[in-house]
């Protein structure tokens, strides 16, 4: 029991000390990963590979990266509209770019997620609806990443691990059935359950059940989502994923790496999933580099070229984040407010209280 308490404190505590400790550990992991990488791969070889990159293909790869980011706004638009959140595609794109900015330069993605949640809920303070839309978006993104990644792996020449196509189909069908059940039956089941336990709950716990009820009410709205809106969200998500893969493929070709679109598809899918792990920091910095080097070297790519590619993907993320910084400055100037960062009363004060109440 005494041993588990520090571990639980580290992972679950919301105190400032715990947050700073987690940030310090993440930073230490990133530094350690880069020290190991550059200890194994000579820096001069990586720099030489970057200097010899084809400029035209570099520009094309970066543009495709921006296209991928823009398509996520098209993906979120019908999900937000279904929840009564009336943001246009350009407004959602500006929010997404701001999130990229904060996620790229801060050791935690929670700030960026909080900003997207808060701004998407305005005006009208539709916090539960915003949370439901973003939860569906995150689930759809993960579903598409896994499905497209596994699908590309099945058609590639790699045999690092075996995949049974029958199990893949069952997994996809299982996810679809689970979402149908959640959207149609989670709210009535929750209300049936709470109707029996609420009379026995203490008074201070009852507001929490009302907040959860609002969330499930918002989730149930997806059961009646128009088929065309759902199709648009899925197609935009697929297009965004494919544009990101095309970007990675073109950037690899700029370095002289011979890798097919299909192979890059499953590699980037695995990289995306690993960079979402809790210990990943600043957009997966370090984790991305180690993963790409480990995977591409098994495919016959030299470690220096693999590391150079991972750094180009980092540069792509930084450029998109810088565009997000510009949109953030415009938003701040147009609203006469300071940025939404930790310690800002707009999130920690009124904004946080409004989220809490919903």
Task: Residue 280: name the closest of 106, 26, 24, 104 by CA.
Answer: 26
> Token digits for 208?
């929490």
Domain assignment present for residue 192? The answer is yes
Highest mean pLDDT among 5-9, 40-44, 108-112, 230-234: 230-234
Euclidean distance between CA atoms 115 and 103, whole angstroms: 11
Query: Could you give the CA distance from residue 249 to residue 264 in angstroms, rounded to a whole number?
Result: 6
Q: Is residue 80 part of a domain?
A: yes
Tens digits of residue pLDDT in 282-333? 566 778 888 898 889 888 888 889 989 999 998 998 899 888 888 888 877 7
Any domain includes 14: no
Query: Hey, CA dihedral for 21, 23, 28, 29, is it positive or negative?
Result: positive
Report cis status (omega within 30 of 0) of the bond before 123. Answer: yes
pLDDT mean across residues, the chain: 77
Return the structure tokens found at 313: 């993907």
Give the phi and the psi of residue 60 in degrees, each rounded to 5: -60, -40
pLDDT of residue 255: 92
pLDDT of residue 107: 54
- Domain count within the chain: 1
Computed from CA positions of residues 215, 217, 218, 223, in that sequence, does the dihedral angle turn out positive or negative?
positive
Residue 261 pLDDT level (bands cut at 50, 70, 90): very high
- Per-residue confidence at 352, pLDDT binned at 50, 70, 90? very low
pTM: 0.75
* Cβ atoms of 254 and 54 closer than 8 Å: yes
Which pLDDT does position 26 carry in this prediction?
67
Is residue 138 predicted with pLDDT exceeding 50? yes
CB atoms within 10 A of CB 139: 14
Domain membership flag for residue 39: no
Residue 141: what pLDDT? 87
- Residue-range definition of the domain harbouring residue 83: 55-357
Q: Is residue 6 part of a domain?
A: no
Query: pLDDT band at 108, cuts 50/70/90?
Result: low
Query: Does residue 245 form part of some domain?
Result: yes
Three-class DSSP category at 224:
helix
- Residues 56-62: what's their mean pLDDT? 95
Backbone angles phi, psi at 262, to 5 degrees: -65, -45
> Which whole number is the average pLDDT over 50-75?
94
**8 A C-beta contact, residue 304 and residue 295:** no
> Would 104 be classed as within a structural domain?
yes
Could you give the CA distance from residue 338 to residue 347 in angstroms, rounded to a whole number? 11
Q: Is 296 exposed, middle or buried (0-12, 13-18, 19+ CB in 10 A)?
A: buried
What is the average per-residue pLDDT within 126-143?
Answer: 83
Note whether residue 173 is domain-resident.
yes
Whole-number pLDDT of residue 348: 40
**Residue 274 host element (H or E):** helix 261-274
Q: What is the biggest distance separating any 2 CA atoms in the chain, rounded to whole angstroms?
A: 71
| Chain segment 78-104, per-residue pLDDT in tens | 988 888 888 889 989 988 888 888 877
Grouping H, G, I as helix, E, B as strand and the rest as coil, residue 109 is coil
Can you give the C-alpha Rg of the chain in angstroms? 22
Take residue 125 and report the two structure tokens written for it: 């303070």
Query: 281 pairs with which residues across the strands?
Result: 285
């Amino acid at each position: 029991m005494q041993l588990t308490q520090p571990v639980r404190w580290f992972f679950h505590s919301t105190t400032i000390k715990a947050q700073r400790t987690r940030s310090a550990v993440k930073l230490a992991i990133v530094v350690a990963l880069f020290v190991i990488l550059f200890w194994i791969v000579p820096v001069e070889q990586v720099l030489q590979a970057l200097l010899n990159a084809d400029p035209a293909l570099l520009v094309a790869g970066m543009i495709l990266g921006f296209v991928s980011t823009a398509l996520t706004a098209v993906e979120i638009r019908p999900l937000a509209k279904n929840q009564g959140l009336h943001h246009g595609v350009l407004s959602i794109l500006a929010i997404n770019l701001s999130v990229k900015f904060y996620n790229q330069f801060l050791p935690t993605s929670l700030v960026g997620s909080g900003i997207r949640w808060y701004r998407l809920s305005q005006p009208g303070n539709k916090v539960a609806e915003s949370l439901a839309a973003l939860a569906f978006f995150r689930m759809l993104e993960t579903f598409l990443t896994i499905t497209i990644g596994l699908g590309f792996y099945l058609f590639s020449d790699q045999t690092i691990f075996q995949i049974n196509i029958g199990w893949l189909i069952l997994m996809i069908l299982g996810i679809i059935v689970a979402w149908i059940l959640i959207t149609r039956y989670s709210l009535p089941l929750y209300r049936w359950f709470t109707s029996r336990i609420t009379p026995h709950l203490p008074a201070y716990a009852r507001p929490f059940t009302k907040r959860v009820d609002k969330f499930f009410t918002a989730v149930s709205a997806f059961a009646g989502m128009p088929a065309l809106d759902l199709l648009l969200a899925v197609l935009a998500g697929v297009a965004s994923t494919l544009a990101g893969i095309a970007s990675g493929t073109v950037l690899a070709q700029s370095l002289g790496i011979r890798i097919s679109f299909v192979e890059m598809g499953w590699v980037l899918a695995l990289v995306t999933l690993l960079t979402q792990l809790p210990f990943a920091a600043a957009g997966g910095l370090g984790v991305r580099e180690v993963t790409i080097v480990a995977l591409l070297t098994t495919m016959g790519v030299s470690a220096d070229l693999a590391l150079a590619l991972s750094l180009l993907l980092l540069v792509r993320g930084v450029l998109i984040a810088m565009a997000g910084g510009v949109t953030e400055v415009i938003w701040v100037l147009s609203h006469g407010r300071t940025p939404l960062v930790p310690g800002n009363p707009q999130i920690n004060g009124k904004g946080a209280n409004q989220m809490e109440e919903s």
